[in-house]
Chains A and B, each alone.
Chain A
Amino acid sequence: MNAPAARPAPVSHLTRARLFSILGALTILLIVCAIAGVLFGSAHISLVTAFSDPASPDHAILFAARLPRVLMGVIVGAMLAAVGTALQALVRNPLAEGGILGISGGGALGAILALVMAAKLGGGEALVPICAFATALLSTVAVYRLAMVDGQLEPFTLLLVGVIFNAFWGAAIMLVNSVVNFYYAHSILFWLMGSLEAPTYGEAATVAGLGLAGFAVLMYRARDLNLLSLGDESAAELGVDVDRLRRTIFVATSVMVGAAVSVSGIISFVGLIVPHTLRLMFGADHRLLLPASLIGGAAFMVAADLLARVAIAPAEIPVGAITALCGGPFFIYMLRREGRRPLSL
């Protein structure tokens, strides 16, 4: 699994022109996806009516249902993909993504507990995302403490502790599922499969704020993430404080995943497929790969959510099922097309 330290990542020479042309192309893709996401849905709307008559259902569908949902798709997809990219570099493991830190599982459990408690105690549903975020961060702290070996954040231990935490939280969710009324089964599945259903602009803004803050940190350390692919020792020789870098990235990605899971549940595969596909296409320079993942993840998520909304309209499919169903085969295709060349990080 672990890329041999001796093999340097193929970092193509990054020119300003290359950076802008790739990011520009991805941005155009995102805009196309977003426009399609706003134009299409289970209901047919007239844009003229939507803009001219604020009391019309067309207006409500466009501005209260589709636009916040597309926005949330952009934000969540961007965050998950960027987090995946950073974590794969951090632990030098191609399987790393938000889920492996045990954060999303913790967040989902918190959301489900809040949902059940709100019913028992009469609290509001507004508590659910707050609880999800709080438990996601609590889970993060626990994983972080347990992954410390001799005062250092050890990547393999982190990976294992994270995976075990996620399995543990999954089991706890199943436990809750079997003791509460079965009418909760839908809500529990909602958090386990992930969904971008019915968000508010306020939620989108909050999550976007946390996401951008986290992303700024990742970008700031992008060059150091490149050096980390040479191995801990080489990176240290080149002046990277490896342990400090790990902690910084860990905290930044945790906040991002916590924010994403608090509104959308566990949406898997985005953090895996998008970074790997882009890495196969454009190489592993994180100064390019991080912003490319951000934009590509957003485009992928908006497209997947559009499919989730229209495939069996007016009924919906959880978007997490779409990301896995469509993303999986596409990723395998990309991987095989590369031929004999092993995955580079």
Chain B
Amino acid sequence: MAFSRLAAVAALCIYALAFAAAAPAAEQMRIVSLAPSVTEDLFALGAGPEVVGVSQYCDYPPQVRDLPRVGSFLTPNLEAIIALRPTLVVGLELSSDVRQIRALNSMGYPVLLVSDDSLQQIETSIEKVGDRINRGTQARGLVQQIRMQIAAIRERLAQVKPVRTLMLVGHQPIVAVGPGTYLDELMRIARADNIAAAVGQQWPHLGIEFIIAMRPQVILDGSMGSDAHSTDDFWKKYPTIPAVRDNRVLSYAEDPMLHPGPRVAQSLEIIARKVHPEAWPREVAGADE
């Protein structure tokens, strides 16, 4: 009796163990992400545990730092990707190397490409990724949440006057945020009139005299490779620019600003607070940015 009971328990244990081992294996995906924004999408949708490889630039959320790297998204390493036996590779449409994508496809690794040049595309990307990894509901929830955050900021800024703004990603050379980028769209929502809007390139390389002539009231300078101090050194040569004269050359961090993913509303809020601090009146006195 005792023996058969023991055997039954043992059998149950084995069954349970086998089930526990088999069940996740049935659904668990092995996803390789080729871009920081895609990695963020995946983690925000709760697929973090299924991400097995990321690009060299992925740094958010913090747990991705321990994941294997498969190269940059301009030049992903094919062998490193294959070695991870992915069931899905997700990259960016624009910056992916067509030959590598073709190679991955021909070897039977499914590839999903998304875009992030506008808010609409960022939302579509989240939904496309969500649908592909069986988290469509979460994806739509996340998009809804982003829309609500953006709507809240829109509402807060409803009464403020637009401010002539220049947003830079570097000043040697001077590369600005131009039309057709999600950052240009965020600037518009933040009621920041982009002085580079008429230039007609997504990331125009501008001359300093154009900037002097356009008289921006705020300059958001995210130039890589410079601390706030050296940014001052650069701008103080041009004191007639209103933003320089009024001490409104403001720096921003690359993260999350240049990550067009689920934290896009946060980026919007950073721009809005810098350009229109008056719209956050209670915090102006205490908080020091």
Does B227 sit at the interface, judged by CB under 8 A? yes
- What is the minimal beta-carbon distance from A72 to any residue of chain B, in angstroms? 13
How far is B208's CA from A41's CA once the two chains are assembled, in angstroms?
A: 10
With contact pairs A183-B254, A316-B205 given, residues A43 and B170 touching in the complex (Cβ less than 8 Å): no
With contact pairs A118-B230, A313-B207 given, residues A182 and B57 touching in the complex (Cβ less than 8 Å): yes
The number of inter-chain residue pairs (CB within 8 angstroms) is 127
Within 220-235 of B, Cβ neighbours of A (below 8 Å) are at 224-227, 229-230, 233-234
Q: Quick one: CB contact mask for A151-186 with B, threshold 8 Å, 1 for yes?
A: 000000000000000000000000000100111101
Q: Which residues of B contact A250 (CB under 8 A)?
A: none
Interface residues in A, total, Cβ within 8 A: 43
Q: Is the CB of B224 within 8 A of A316?
A: no
Does A314 sit at the interface, judged by CB under 8 A? yes
Q: Which residues of B contact A119 (CB under 8 A)?
A: 224-226
Which of the candidate stretches B25-33, B96-104, B237-245, B267-275 sits at the interface with the other chain?
B237-245
Q: Is the CB of B172 within 8 A of A125?
A: yes
How far is B57's CA from A45's CA once the two chains are assembled, in angstroms?
A: 43
Q: Is the CB of A124 within 8 A of B206?
A: no
Most buried by B among A116, A118, A197, A317: A197
Interface residues in B, total, Cβ within 8 A: 41
With contact pairs A57-B215, A178-B75 given, residues A187 and B205 touching in the complex (Cβ less than 8 Å): no
Residue of A nearest to B173 (CB): A190
Q: Which residues of A contact B209 (CB under 8 A)?
A: 41-43, 61, 65-66, 309
Q: Is the CB of B172 within 8 A of A126?
A: no
With contact pairs A64-B238, A183-B224 given, residues A314 and B233 touching in the complex (Cβ less than 8 Å): no
How far is B207's CA from A246's CA once the two chains are assembled, in angstroms?
A: 41
Most buried by B among A44, A123, A181, A195: A181
Contact residue among B174, B204, B212, B234 (Cβ-Cβ distance under 8 Å from A61): B212
How far is B233's CA from A66's CA once the two chains are assembled, in angstroms?
A: 18
Q: Quick one: CB contact mask for A111-129 with B, threshold 8 Å, 1 for yes?
A: 0000110110011111010
With contact pairs A124-B226, A198-B234, A314-B206 given, residues A57 and B75 touching in the complex (Cβ less than 8 Å): no
How far is B200's CA from A147's CA once the two chains are assembled, in angstroms?
A: 49
- What is the minimal beta-carbon distance from A313 to any residue of chain B, in angstroms? 7
Prevailing SS type, chain B contact patch: loop
Q: Is the CB of A314 within 8 A of B199?
A: yes
With contact pairs A122-B227, A125-B233, A178-B72 given, residues A186 and B213 touching in the complex (Cβ less than 8 Å): no
- What is the minimal beta-carbon distance from B121 to any residue of chain A, in angstroms? 19
Within 56-70 of A, Cβ neighbours of B (below 8 Å) are at 56-57, 59-61, 64-66
How far is B267's CA from A76's CA once the two chains are assembled, in angstroms?
A: 41
Within 29-63 of A, Cβ neighbours of B (below 8 Å) are at 41-45, 55-57, 59-61
- What is the minimal beta-carbon distance from A54 to any residue of chain B, in angstroms? 9
Q: Is the CB of B207 within 8 A of A65?
A: yes
Contact residue among B169, B196, B234 (Cβ-Cβ distance under 8 Å from A125): B234
Does B210 sit at the interface, judged by CB under 8 A? yes
Does B175 sit at the interface, judged by CB under 8 A? yes
Q: Is the CB of A57 within 8 A of B212?
A: yes
Residue of A nearest to B222 (CB): A183
Contact residue among A55, A59, A128, A195 (Cβ-Cβ distance under 8 Å from B173): A195
Contact residue among B75, B213, B225, B239 (Cβ-Cβ distance under 8 Å from A115): B225
Q: Which B residues are within 8 Å of any A CB, using their own CB? A: 57, 72, 74-75, 169-175, 196, 199-201, 203-210, 212-213, 215, 224-227, 229-230, 233-234, 237-241, 254, 258
A-B contact pairs, 9 of them (CB 8 A): A65-B208, A65-B209, A124-B233, A181-B57, A183-B170, A183-B258, A197-B172, A198-B172, A200-B237
